[in-house]
Amino acid sequence: MIKIGIIGVGYFGEKHLQNILNLKEIFNVIGIYDNNSHRSHEISKKYNVNEFKSIDLLTEQCEAIDITASTNSHYELIKFCIKKDKHIFIEKPISEKIEEAEEIQKLAQGYKKIIQIGFIERFNDAFLSLLSLNFVVKKIKAVRTGLLTDRNKNNCIIQDMMIHDIDIINFMIPSYIKNISVDKESKKDKVISELKFDNNCLVKIKAERSKSISREKSERKITIETESHEEIILDLLNRKVYKDNIEITKKIQKPNALENELTYFHNCIKKKQKNEISVKSAYKSSIIASEIKKKLNDLL
């Protein structure tokens, strides 16, 4: 059983806490910390968990730390937990600035403990079913749309939404980026980008959020054209995958992707499972996201 603490108990932090408490056979929740003392006290009472007044006191008693605080705090929190020699689960993205991500990547080299990044789509049945297929990517079209809310309206859409598809695209295309462009129609809550890789793979990627896009109208879909002229569609929202219009989904996971993600974290620590969602893989996605953001800012 892993002694774990949670830093940040906002919307996502509460979700993490709920799932970790459900995994009581493998995790022992030592306590929580949030710089919002009112929120921290509220969550402590609601779930009957210990409330810590400092990060130092919490980390001293834990083997692992789950960081679900705001993105602008990730950099300092990761550095702190590395210094304290803790296993780290960090919600995506790893940091707000590419310079910070680069330093974290350097610090993670040779680090003996697990650092897992929270790319939850890696635990989607559609993505897991894709792993059983053999194909070579020629083109990809990724579309991700969703509701604009008070919770996400101030978050960068590239880091909040598009980063998930960038991560999957990086996984599927074993090559470096040659060119990145942003469509002139792009704006704060609608970003369209084209990526060209050194191996000549072409990717068109779109993320959009709006108050008029309900869950029923939302889309999380990646369409792959292979070198052998097959079409593979990952319907991540409905957890299904199709090959030439025939569903080939394998029901691999339990419905709760977050619970599966946290179980994976445990297995990497206790069962020495290889961590495929490391800082190294997240850093590659951060480079692309940062360049898209830069070109978007130039356009705006």
pLDDT tens track for 21-40: 999 999 999 999 999 999 99
In a domain, residue 29? The reply is yes
Global pTM value: 0.94
Do 149 and 219 share a domain, yes or no?
Answer: yes
Instruction: Please give the Cα distance from 23 to 269 (Å, whole number).
Output: 15
What CA–CA distance (Å, rounded) separates 191 from 193?
A: 7
What's the average model confidence in pLDDT over 102-107?
96
What number is the average pLDDT over the span 114-124? 96
Q: Are residues 219 and 111 in the same domain?
A: no
In a domain, 227, yes or no: yes
Residue 172, in any domain of the structure: yes
51 with 167, same domain?
A: no
pLDDT the model gives residue 252:
72
Q: Is residue 87 included in any domain, yes or no?
A: yes
Q: Mean pLDDT across the stretch 157-161?
A: 94
Q: Is residue 139 part of a domain?
A: yes
* Pick from 260, 259, 254, 219: nearest CA to 237: 219
Residues 160 and 295 in one domain: yes
Q: 101 and 54, same structural domain?
A: yes
Q: What is the pLDDT of residue 253?
A: 66
Please tell me whether residues 228 and 294 are part of one structural domain: yes
Q: Is the pLDDT reported for residue 2 higher than 70?
A: yes
pLDDT for position 89: 98
Do 154 and 294 fall into the same domain? yes
Domain with residue 100: its CATH number is 3.40.50.720
Helix axes 98-108, 74-83, angle to 10 degrees: 10
- Residue 292 near residue 142 (C-beta atoms within 8 A): no
Q: What is the CATH number of the domain that holds 246?
A: 3.30.360.10
Q: How many Cα atoms occupy the beta-carbon half-sphere of 58 within 13 Å?
A: 26
Q: Which domain holds residue 211?
A: 122-253+286-299
Q: What is the pLDDT of residues 128-148, one digit of tens each?
A: 999 999 999 999 999 999 999
> For residue range 73-99, what is the model confidence (pLDDT) as tens digits?
999 999 999 999 999 999 999 998 999
Judge whether residue 157 has pLDDT over 70: yes
Nearest partner of 26 among 220, 273, 229, 247, judged by Cα: 273
Task: Answer whether residue 192 is part of any domain.
Answer: yes
- Report the domain count for the chain: 2
One domain for residues 153 and 291: yes
Strand order of the sheet with strand 64-67? 27-33, 2-7, 64-67, 87-91, 115-118
Examine the domain organization and report whether 99 and 137 are in the same domain. no
Reply yes or no on whether the pLDDT at 153 is more than 80: yes
Q: Are residues 128 and 156 in the same domain?
A: yes
Mean pLDDT, the chain, whole residue set: 95
Q: Could you tell me if 79 and 164 lie in one domain?
A: no
User: What local confidence, expressed as pLDDT, does residue 300 receive?
Assistant: 85
| 281 domain residue, yes or no | no
If asked whether residues 91 and 174 sit together in one domain, one would say no
Is residue 157 included in any domain, yes or no? yes
